[in-house]
Amino acid sequence: MVSPADVKRPKVLIVGAGVGGITLAILLEKAGVPYDVYERAAELKPLGAALYLGPNVAPLFQQIGIYDEFVAHSKPCESINVFTEHREPSFNIDFGPVKEMGGADGYIITRPTLYEILLKRVPPERVHNSKRVLSLMQNEYGVMVRFSDGTTADGDILVGADGAYSAVRQSLYKQLREAGKLPLNDGKSLPYSCVCLAAQTAPLDIERFPELKDEKCHFNNVLAQDRPYSWMTWTTKNNTLCYTVVLYLDKESSKENDSFRNSEWGAEAAEAMCSDVRDFPIPGGNSTLTLGDLIDNTPKSQISKVMLEEKVFDTWHAARTVLIGDACHKVHPAGGQGALLAFHDAIALANWISTLSSASAEDIDMVFKEYKTERIRYAKEAQVQGSMMASVSARNFKAKVMRFVIKNMPARLNKQVQMRSAANRPQVSFLPLVQDSGSVKPAAQPSLQKTRKERLDADLVPETPTVV
């Protein structure tokens, strides 16, 4: 058997310590691939509300050893309960069949909690803060990144995992534009039609918020009647409520909010929006609760305002640089696909990088092409799904049609939609495979089948359980 020590591993530079970047770091750590993570923020402080995750990530979480901890900090979630602005039930979106189809329950977990679980799996010395990217240089021999503090980093592969306004993407696209190689679509600004307030309260009084006592998550979505908003709340494991408020923009309000386009998540940008939405009613409690009751119990550091951009870029890689997560596809969060895409991007890219036995430009270009070919279809599907789910909460005619379709969707069609979603549950090829108990066969995963075969042919893979 060939020893992994005899294989020359390419050095990977990961820019961005979000969910996608940290997950990729965990996988490279387990694959024995040298890497470092560079984050522009001075400290890692995850913000945001809650994530719905289920069978689509269960195999990954089991393979990297965090599934039990993930479940322990989550609440099972079986449906979205849609209400009118008068707190009257309107309709439900049922996730019930997901467990049987995908072999695992769906759960709600707060984004900060999940991030902390992931971050613990990365050695602290591998993560470098206050590293804002200024530029990158690459050639057939390697890639170098220059940071604003005057330092540089050298490696063989550069991964841009630094979000919707990725500095890596901007630097790469600048080079491609100057060379006349950037597609016209990639040079356009990120389009957006919404802004979002996202927050998590401090622990609440369970007598005042009795839904917190339920072991299952109460996932409520309120549709406004005469104002351009929708808002959601989730009960969480640690007696907090996560909530988001979406403002649907017209031409005038888009101009007013454009100053936030390049801003980071932060409490300052959110303050005015909090004032605007305080009186919005929420279901639960004694039927008199409003968003103001949540805002007053939320630390300012846990409230943020963000733009909800939507775009799938055409260019995901060039030479030794590749993009993952929001850096190459930003989808509306209404579809619940943003973090999921980042997890799956990290799996596919890590599967391919783990097979590299050299740092040649040709080999790296080949694995980047394989990665994009596998992942871009899912990104485009997620963009459509996110737009469709966002339209359910809007106020236009299209939204009314979408709500009618969802309310009256035949069970057979609903099952087909859920089957397609449940099938997408990839695994890591260089870790022991987990047994799959879903009734729906997992979707084809080229980065698993192809790289596993390569590693088996090279005698680099220990025996692992067969996927059932």
Q: Are residues 284 and 372 in the same domain?
A: no
Q: Are residues 345 and 282 in the same domain?
A: no
Ramachandran assignment for 436, one of left (phi > 0), alpha (psi -120 to 50 degrees), beta (any other): beta
**The CATH number of the domain where 344 resides is what?**
3.50.50.60
Q: Are residues 446 and 299 in the same domain?
A: no
Boundary residue ending a domain (245, 278, 309): 309
Q: Are residues 23 and 121 in the same domain?
A: yes
The answer to whether residue 93 is domain-embedded is: no
Domain count, the chain: 2
The answer to whether residue 444 is domain-embedded is: yes
The lowest-confidence range among 73-87, 296-310, 328-342 is: 328-342
pLDDT class for 203, splitting at 50, 70, 90?
very high
- SS3 percent helix, strand, coil of the chain, rounded to 5, is 40, 20, 40
Q: Are residues 260 and 384 in the same domain?
A: no
Q: H-helix or E-strand containing 323?
A: strand 321-323
Boundary residue ending a domain (256, 277, 309): 309
Instruction: Tell whether pTM > 0.85.
Output: yes
175 token code pair: 């080079």
From residue 300, alpha-carbon distances to 46, 86, 304 in Å are 13, 28, 8
The answer to whether residue 26 is domain-embedded is: yes
Q: Are residues 152 and 196 in the same domain?
A: no
Q: Does the pLDDT of residue 467 top 60, yes or no?
A: no
Q: Which of 248, 273, 276 is nearest to 332 (CA)?
A: 248
The answer to whether residue 126 is domain-embedded is: yes
Integer Cα distance of 304 and 165 in angstroms: 17
Cβ distance 282 to 290 under 8 Å? Answer: yes
What pLDDT shows up at residue 468? 33
The answer to whether residue 270 is domain-embedded is: yes
Place of tokens 């995908």: 102
23 token code pair: 């997950």
Q: Are residues 60 and 148 in the same domain?
A: yes
The answer to whether residue 104 is domain-embedded is: no
User: At 100, is the secondary structure helix, strand, or coil?
Assistant: helix
Place of tokens 């929420």: 282
Q: What value does the mean pLDDT take over residues 257-276?
A: 65
Q: Does the pLDDT of residue 355 top 80, yes or no?
A: yes
Cβ distance 329 to 381 under 8 Å? Answer: no
pLDDT class for 390, splitting at 50, 70, 90?
low
The answer to whether residue 105 is domain-embedded is: no
Q: Does the pLDDT of residue 255 top 50, yes or no?
A: no
What pLDDT shows up at residue 280? 96
What pLDDT shows up at residue 264? 44
pLDDT class for 27, splitting at 50, 70, 90?
very high
Q: Are residues 268 and 346 in the same domain?
A: no
The lowest-confidence range among 5-9, 430-434, 452-456 is: 5-9
Percentage of the chain beyond pLDDT 70 is 84
Q: Are residues 165 and 274 in the same domain?
A: no
What pLDDT shows up at residue 298? 94
What confidence tens digit (pLDDT) does each residue in 75-108 have? 999 989 999 999 999 888 888 788 889 999 999 9
C-alpha 121 chain-centroid distance: 18
Integer Cα distance of 311 and 129 in angstroms: 28
Q: Which residues contact 244 (CB under 8 A, 6 or more apart)?
A: 49, 196, 197, 198, 199, 231, 232, 333
Q: Are residues 47 and 168 in the same domain?
A: yes
Q: Does the pLDDT of residue 462 top 60, yes or no?
A: no
The answer to whether residue 342 is domain-embedded is: yes
What pLDDT shows up at residue 456? 72
Domain containing 218: what range?
192-309
What confidence tens digit (pLDDT) does each residue in 418-431 have? 788 888 999 999 99
Sign, Cα dihedral of 407, 410, 415, 421: negative
- Rg of the chain over Cα atoms, rounded to whole angstroms, equals 22
Q: Are residues 54 and 178 in the same domain?
A: yes
Q: Are residues 282 and 319 in the same domain?
A: no
What pLDDT shows up at residue 314? 97
Boundary residue ending a domain (309, 339, 371): 309
Q: Does the pLDDT of residue 323 top 90, yes or no?
A: yes
